[in-house]
Each structure stands twice: as C-alpha cells, then as structure tokens.
C-alpha cells in the first residue's frame, strides 16, 4: 500500500498538519512525514514538533537562507528526488509558503496528485508572496480541502481542475487538542510583567521590510493604552537592529519583547491576553477557537480570512499608527461578546480530510 506524504516546512504548517498526522496514524494510513526545511532554526521548527509530541520527520532537508526563488527551487529539487524514491499515493501540503508551492510543483511534475489543505484563501493583494503561492498551489493540486464555503467559492470562480471538499480548518482542531496540554505544561505567564496585556506579532515582508510601517508598529505598541507583549520574529528583530530601533524598543516600559515562543506558550498567551494585534493569517483563525475567543486587530491592508471579520472576531485596521491605536481603544471600550462557535469549523477537519483520502485512495 502506497503512503501519503505529509510535507511541512514552517511552524504554522507543522501546527496545522499535526491533527492530520494524528488522524492518519489513528486510521493506520501509511504515512511519510517530511520537513522540507524552510524554517531550519530549532526555535522555529523542531521545537514545535517536540511540543506537539509528533513523530520525528522521516526526511528532513536543511535549506539555507537563500532568496525566495532559490529557496523554492532547492526545496523543489529535494522533493523531486524524494518523490522519485518513495512514490507516494498523495502529497499533502498546507498553506501558502514557498515550501507548499515547491512540494506541490514537484508532485505535479512526478505525476503524483497533490492535496492542498487550506485551499481557496484569497487576500487579492498581489504584493504578498503568499497570495502567489496559494493561487499557484490551488491550480496544480488534484485535491483541494477548503476550510469554508467562501474558500470553496473562490476556487470555483477560478475554475480549478482539482476536486474540492469543504472540511473546516485544522487550526481549530489543533487549538482544541493542544490548549489543555499547554495550560498544564507552559510556564510563560511567570515571565510576563503585566497582568493585563495585548499580544502582538508582526513578521510579514511587506510590513517589516517597510521602514515607515515598522516605525508605525513600534510607535503604536509603545503608546498602546494596554501594555503589549511582543514575541518577536527573527526577521523583525533583524530589521529593527538594522534601523537602530531595537534598543529603543527594549527601553519602552509599555512593551515586553520576548524571543520566539513555542506553540504551547503562544496558546497560553492568546488565552490570557485582552486582544491580539497581528499581521499573521493563522492567528486570525486561532483566535476564533471556542477555547480562545479573542478580538484581533489585523495590521495589514487586507486579509485572506474575511470569515473572521464577518463573524466579528477580527478587524482590518491597516498599518498607520493612529488607526492601530484607535482600534485597540475601541476593543477595550466596547468589550463585544464574541461568538461561541468558530467560522473555521468544529474541530474535526483532520478527520474529514483523512476520511476523504481513505475513500479516494484506499477503499
């Protein structure tokens, strides 16, 4: 019986693939787990695999910090060689990174169907490399696991040729499975200086590589009406240092900068914060999980998760300092009651995806 190859290359992919890996093992579906190395730093990858108590990858690639094009090409070359050797029945990828596109293209060129978990998301902002990656991946994948009806509609509008299934998003599965473990194991709250705080993240290239936008973020966090806890992505730290802003931020009594935190620690921070300020896509989804239920301010010009906005969890406030501060103030004053259900599913997405795979390939 041929195996299903599960590919992950970054922290969010590992997290969102974890429920699928467990569901495949539970149903005794043969599996090959590949870490293709886009995040090769221990804190950004291996730590998460250990946190989630996943099996170690069967194959691991180490990709250096090349340009995006070279990185994509090298992952594709590595995957091509691996697929030639292992010949799986299906290659599962998740999301919108260079890893995802490279693995899907390699699979397509080998005549092996690709399955795209979290298919159909669209920001319609072509400045974002992720938008290119997700669109191209959808159009070379034979199986498209859309998290919502809106994602399904996007795929149908683009006339993709693969089979479409609406399954929910495995990020909700992951939160529900891991938050109880996180609250038992995590000691992150012992390190936090504030009783009440906003949780902030910022890492997208179109934001942190733009000095004006970066200054807006740092200014907004420093002046926030509620203190800010800020686990900092290495990319952001590098840009701040290059622009002589890192030391200045550390002096702010209103902002606590943390190194990148493990997934379990981050779940606990989300659970305990007042609100989330982020340019991340996945965090917009995680915040809607019934056990989190936190308002999110999206510090971007667009979002590929409009369902979170429509359900009242998220608001796109842009990248200007005053608009971010106004958004924080409104959240703190209004204290809106958030829905008890997530627009991204009921926490059974992985089971649905694996059931579909079994019917398509093994029954």
> In sequence order, which residues have a C-beta less than 8 Å from that of residue 198 and are 6 or more positions away?
224, 226, 227, 228, 229, 273, 274, 275, 276, 277, 328
End-to-end CA gap in the chain: 11
CA angle 98, 100, 101 (to 5 degrees): 70
Distance of alpha carbon 34 from alpha carbon 184, whole angstroms:
29
Q: Would you tell me how many other CB atoms lie within 10 Å of the CB of residue 266?
A: 24
- The length of the chain is 363
Q: Which residues are catalytic?
A: 203
Cα 157 to its chain centre, rounded Å, is 24
Distance of alpha carbon 210 from alpha carbon 195, whole angstroms:
32
């Amino acid at each position: 019986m041929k195996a299903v190859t599960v590919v992950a290359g970054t922290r969010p992919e590992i997290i969102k693939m974890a429920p699928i890996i467990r569901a495949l093992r539970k149903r005794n579906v043969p599996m090959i787990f590949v870490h293709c190395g886009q995040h090769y730093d221990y804190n950004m990858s291996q730590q998460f695999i250990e946190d989630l108590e996943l099996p170690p990858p069967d194959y691991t690639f180490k990709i250096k910090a090349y340009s995006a094009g070279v990185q994509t090409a090298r992952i594709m070359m590595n995957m091509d060689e691996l697929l030639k050797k292992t010949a799986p029945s299906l290659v599962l990828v998740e999301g919108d990174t260079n890893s995802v596109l490279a693995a899907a293209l390699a699979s397509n060129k080998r005549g092996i169907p690709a399955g795209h978990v979290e298919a159909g998301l669209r920001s319609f902002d072509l400045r974002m490399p992720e938008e290119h990656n997700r669109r191209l991946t959808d159009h070379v994948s034979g199986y498209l696991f859309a998290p919502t009806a809106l994602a399904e509609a996007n795929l149908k509008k683009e006339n993709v040729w693969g089979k479409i299934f609406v399954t929910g998003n495995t990020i909700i599965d992951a939160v529900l499975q891991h938050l109880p473990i996180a609250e038992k194991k995590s000691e992150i709250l012992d390190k936090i200086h504030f009783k009440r705080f906003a949780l902030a993240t910022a890492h997208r290239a179109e934001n942190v590589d733009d000095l004006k936008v970066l200054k807006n973020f740092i200014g907004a966090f420093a002046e926030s009406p509620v203190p800010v806890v800020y686990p900092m992505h290495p990319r952001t730290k590098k840009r701040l240092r290059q622009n002589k802003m890192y030391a200045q931020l550390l002096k702010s009594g209103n902002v606590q900068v943390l190194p990148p935190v493990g997934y379990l620690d981050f779940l606990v921070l989300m659970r305990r914060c007042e609100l989330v300020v982020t340019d991340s896509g996945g965090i917009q989804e995680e915040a809607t999980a019934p056990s989190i239920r936190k308002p999110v301010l999206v510090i971007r010009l667009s979002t590929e998760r409009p369902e979170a906005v429509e359900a009242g969890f998220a608001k796109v406030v842009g990248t200007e300092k005053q608009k971010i501060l106004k958004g924080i103030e409104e959240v703190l004053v209004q204290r809106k009651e958030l829905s008890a259900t997530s627009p991204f599913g009921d926490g059974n997405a992985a089971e649905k995806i694996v059931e579909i795979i079994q019917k398509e390939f093994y029954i």
